[in-house]
Amino acid sequence: MVKWPMAQETIIRCDLDFEAEGKQVGYLGVPKSTNDSAYGTVTIPITVIKHSDGSTMTFTGGVHGDEYEGPVALMKLARMLRPEEIRGRVIIIPCLNIPAVLAGLRCSPIDGLNLNRVFPGRHDGSLTETIAHYITSELVPLSDVHLDLHSGGTTLEYLPTIFVDRLEDQAAEKRNFEAAMAFGAEITVLFDDYPDTGRFLTSAFMQAGVQNFSVELGGAAKVNPAIVGLAEHGVRNMLKHYGILSGDPVSPEDQGRSPTRLANVKNARCYVIAPDDGIYEPFIDLGDSISRDQVIGQVHYPQHHDREPLAVKAPEPGFLLCKRPLGNVHRGDNIAIIAQPAGDAG
């Protein structure tokens, strides 16, 4: 009788040699057996570029399939970056959740799972879980730094923001902060906590001691040219910060933009939810200042147009970091994130 293997080896294959010099373009092959393809494979494009000795930086995008600015910026980086430009290794996966990207959905159309809520994954799990397991078991050990590019997707829209996790190790937190500032986002958020963080992609890198960062770049299911440009500058700035590319990071001011602003999202009350089903009418826009108990919008009732709309008040002061761009809301939908200024970046 054949015994099941005890070792939790990945079922995903990759023909690239991560130790080879030069530029390699290939894919991660995830087995998928269906009615239409008995021995089918989901192919996740990956680029590996290595030259000389140095740090390894891993870039991921498309963890959610309706977030576009990050994948566009990373596809450009993968095409343009040449081995002779770098010192170290760069791993680029622009569309990690390729089934969701091709479908334009947040979650995988194959198993319905949110890739950013299943880490560390399972070697014998569903397709989404096996992708998470591959990242945890194979790519995390290769990486010194990780940058995950997100946007608000279909249901949210952010000011371009990079998040820095607060750490007990103050020296490590300072190193993370300096790297985040090098990225040059419009906002740098010093981040304390968020529900489900233990299951995020960044959690897998963090628990292994890898420096890692998450970026939110616009959203509303759009591809904003200015934000794509910011992302392109940001990823190259990070490579320069870690000495993988030569030269110094280009500051927002040198790009003709305003300097980075520091902010906090101090508690769960800053995630404002819709109080009822209906049509949400916002009264403020991204970046606007907010006072405590200010009415920031109202929910209208389409089937009872004679009913007074329900006011939505800000539970905390600050400014609007993120909003829901869709008018249709259901009770519990996140309609706003309020951040608090945290001083000057300089």
Which CATH number goes with the domain that contains 311? 2.40.50.100
pLDDT at 195: 53
- One domain, residues 84 and 228: yes
Residue 339 maps to a domain = yes
Residue 33 maps to a domain = yes
- One domain, residues 64 and 116: yes
- Mean pLDDT over 332-340 rounds to 97
Which contiguous run of DSSP H or E holds residue 39? none
State the total domains in the chain: 2
Counting residues of the chain whose pLDDT is more than 70, the rounded percentage is 95
| Residue 176 amino acid letter | N
Q: How far apart are CA 183 and CA 190, in angstroms?
A: 14
- One domain, residues 250 and 316: no
Counting residues of the chain whose pLDDT is more than 90, the rounded percentage is 85
- One domain, residues 246 and 290: no
Residue 32 maps to a domain = yes
The last residue of a domain, from among 236, 264, 292 = 264
- One domain, residues 169 and 296: no
- Structure tokens that stand for 162 in this block: 């990079």
| Three-class SS state of 86 | strand
Q: What's 330's DSSP letter?
A: -
- One domain, residues 154 and 134: yes
Range of the domain at 136: 13-264
Return mean pLDDT, the chain: 93
- One domain, residues 234 and 295: no
| Residue 189 amino acid letter | V
Residue 7 maps to a domain = no
- One domain, residues 154 and 209: yes
**What number of other Cβ atoms are within 10 A of residue 196's Cβ?**
10
Residue 25 maps to a domain = yes
Whole-angstrom Cα Rg for the chain: 21
- One domain, residues 84 and 150: yes
Grade residue 344 by pLDDT with cuts at 50, 70 and 90.
very low
